[in-house]
Structure 1
Amino acid sequence: MDKLLSIGEAAEWLGVSPMTLRRWEASGKLMPERTAGNQRRYRLSQVDPTAALLPSSERKTLAYARVSSHDQKDDLERQKQVLELYCAQQGWTFELVSDLGSGMNYDKKGLKRLLNEIIAGHVGRLVITHKDRLLRFGAELVFSICEAKQVEVIIINKGEDTTFEEDLASDVLEIITVFSARLYGSRSRKNKKLLDGVKQAVEDSRT
Structure 2
Amino acid sequence: MSNWVSASQAAELIGVSTRTLLRWEEQGKLKPMRTSGGHRRYDVSELLGTKNDSSLTIGYARCSSHDQKEDLKRQVLVLESYCASKGWNFEIIQDLGSGMNYRKKGLIRLIKLITTYQVERLVLSHKDRLLRFGSDLIFYLCEQFGTEVIIINRSKDSTFEEDLAKDVLEIITVFSARLYGSRSHKNKQIVQQLREVAQNLE
Q: Which TM-score bucket, shorter chain as reference?
A: 0.5 to 0.7
Q: How far apart, in 2, do the equivalents of 1:153 and 1:106 lie?
A: 19
Which position in structure 2 is the counterpart of 1:198? 190
Q: Which amino acid aligns with 1:89?
A: S
Per the TM alignment, residue 54 of structure 1 is displaced from its structure 2 partner at its CA by 6.2
User: Helix, strand or coil: the match of 2:153?
Assistant: coil
Q: Which of these two proteins has the greater Rg computed from alpha carbons?
A: 1
Which position in structure 2 is the counterpart of 1:114? 110
Q: Report sequence identity in percent.
A: 44
Q: How far apart, in 1, do the equivalents of 2:196 and 2:28 lie?
A: 50
Q: Hey, which bits of structure 1, 4+ residues long, moved more than 6 A?
A: 53-56
Per the TM alignment, residue 174 of structure 1 is displaced from its structure 2 partner at its CA by 2.0
* Residues 59-83 of structure 1: CA deviation (Å, up to 9, x unaligned): 3110000000111111000000100
Q: 1:61 to 1:49 in 2, by over 3 A?
A: closer
Contact 1:53 1:121 in 2 (8 A): no
Contact 1:128 1:155 in 2 (8 A): yes
Contact 2:56 2:88 in 1 (8 A): no
User: Helix, strand or coil: the match of 1:136?
Assistant: coil
Q: How far apart, in 2, do the equivalents of 1:145 and 1:80 lie?
A: 23
* Pairing partner for 1:138 from 128, 134, 140: 134
Q: How far apart, in 1, do the equivalents of 2:29 and 2:72 lie?
A: 31
Which position in structure 1 is the counterpart of 2:13? none
Q: Which amino acid aligns with 1:175?
A: F
Aligned residue-pair number? 151
Q: 1:54 to 1:96 in 2, by over 3 A?
A: farther
Q: How far apart, in 1, do the equivalents of 2:29 and 2:142 lie?
A: 14
Per the TM alignment, residue 198 of structure 1 is displaced from its structure 2 partner at its CA by 1.6
Q: How far apart, in 1, do the equivalents of 2:189 and 2:110 lie?
A: 36
1:37-52 equivalences under 5 Å are 51-52=26-27
Q: Which amino acid aligns with 2:101?
A: N
1:1-207 equivalences under 5 Å are 51-52=26-27, 57=51, 58-158=54-154, 159-160=156-157, 169-170=169-170, 172-178=172-178, 180-181=179-180, 193=186, 195-205=187-197, 206=199
User: Helix, strand or coil: the match of 1:123?
Assistant: coil
Q: Which amino acid aligns with 1:94?
A: F
Q: Which amino acid aligns with 1:59?
A: S
Q: 1:134 to 1:117 in 2, by over 3 A?
A: same
Q: 1:86 to 1:161 in 2, by over 3 A?
A: farther
Per the TM alignment, residue 135 of structure 1 is displaced from its structure 2 partner at its CA by 0.5
TM-score normalised to the size of structure 1?
0.63
Per the TM alignment, residue 172 of structure 1 is displaced from its structure 2 partner at its CA by 3.2
* Residues 80-116 of structure 1: CA deviation (Å, up to 9, x unaligned): 0100110111111200100000000000000001000
* Residues 162-196 of structure 1: CA deviation (Å, up to 9, x unaligned): 99666863553123221x24xxxx59xxx864x35
TM-score normalised to the size of structure 2?
0.64
